[in-house]
């Protein structure tokens, strides 16, 4: 059974304090790993898609990386506006276009 | 681009009544739409996948007679919660996939359903 585990569940950072969020996955055949940002009471906002081990993508202060077992979302010099829940999801070869989500990491960045 | 809207954003209904939630892709044609449910501090759980013009595919454990999904056009899918009960109270989110952006799903803002 496909599984997606995110850690930590919650993370509190000072503004400017860089850190990483982890997404470990078990999937029969990875067709894509996705990162989304979700603000309270809102739908997820697409950040990145990674397809193969070794791939990296960047957007502003965020950088996503992928290995065969896990993905990291690195946040460099975060700002308070980066506070949100970050969701990781995987798409497997045998699941059509459906996504299997982890429970997310709730990030709070304080000034 | 790739904007998905939902209506209503919040709805309160009485137990036993039915509620319809609309999901629209505003600037692209969505060949596939997905409906998710999210409980507080939990992840998104896929309820069903709908393709335009065909019957929805429901995930295991989701009652198809209770959660009616209609994907009548390439820009509109509806979820009707029939005979709602308090345990159906949740955050319902739709997403849409564009034919030529095959892997990304774009999510709507969600609908908060409260059944009293």
Question: Across all residues in chain B, what is the average pLDDT?
Answer: 91
Asked whether residue B89 carries a pLDDT value surpassing 70, the answer given is: yes
Using CA atoms, how far apart are residues B112 and A41, in angstroms rounded to an integer? 8
CB pair distance less than 8 Å for B44 and A31: no
Q: Are the CB atoms for B97 and B105 separated by under 8 Å?
A: yes
Q: What is the mean pLDDT of residues B2-8?
A: 93
Q: A85-107 pLDDT, tens per residue? A: 999 999 988 777 788 999 999 99
Yes or no, beta carbons of B44 and A32 under 8 Å apart: no
Average pLDDT, integer, range B56-84: 93
Tell me if A31 and B103 make a contact (CB, 8 A cut-off). yes
């Amino acid at each position: 059974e496909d599984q997606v585990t995110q850690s930590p569940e919650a993370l509190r950072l000072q503004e400017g304090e860089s850190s990483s969020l982890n997404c470990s996955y078990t999937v029969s055949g990875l067709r894509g790993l996705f990162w989304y940002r979700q603000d309270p009471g809102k739908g997820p906002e697409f950040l990145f898609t990674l397809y193969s081990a070794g791939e990296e993508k960047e957007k502003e202060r965020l950088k996503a990386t992928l290995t065969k077992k896990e993905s990291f979302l690195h946040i460099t010099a975060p700002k308070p506006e980066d506070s949100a829940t970050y969701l990781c999801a995987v798409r497997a070869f045998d699941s059509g276009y459906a996504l299997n989500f982890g429970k997310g990491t709730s990030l709070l960045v304080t000034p | 681009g790739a904007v998905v809207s939902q209506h209503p954003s919040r709805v309160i209904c009485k137990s036993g009544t039915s509620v319809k939630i609309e999901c629209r892709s505003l600037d692209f044609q969505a060949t596939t739409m997905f409906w998710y449910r999210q409980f507080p501090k939990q992840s998104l759980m896929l309820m069903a996948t709908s393709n335009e013009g065909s019957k929805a595919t429901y995930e295991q454990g989701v009652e198809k007679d209770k959660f009616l999904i209609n994907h009548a056009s390439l820009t509109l899918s509806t979820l009707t919660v029939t005979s709602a009960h308090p345990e159906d109270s949740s955050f319902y989110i739709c997403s849409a996939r564009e034919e030529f952006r095959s892997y990304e799903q774009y999510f709507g803002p969600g609908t908060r359903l409260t059944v009293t």
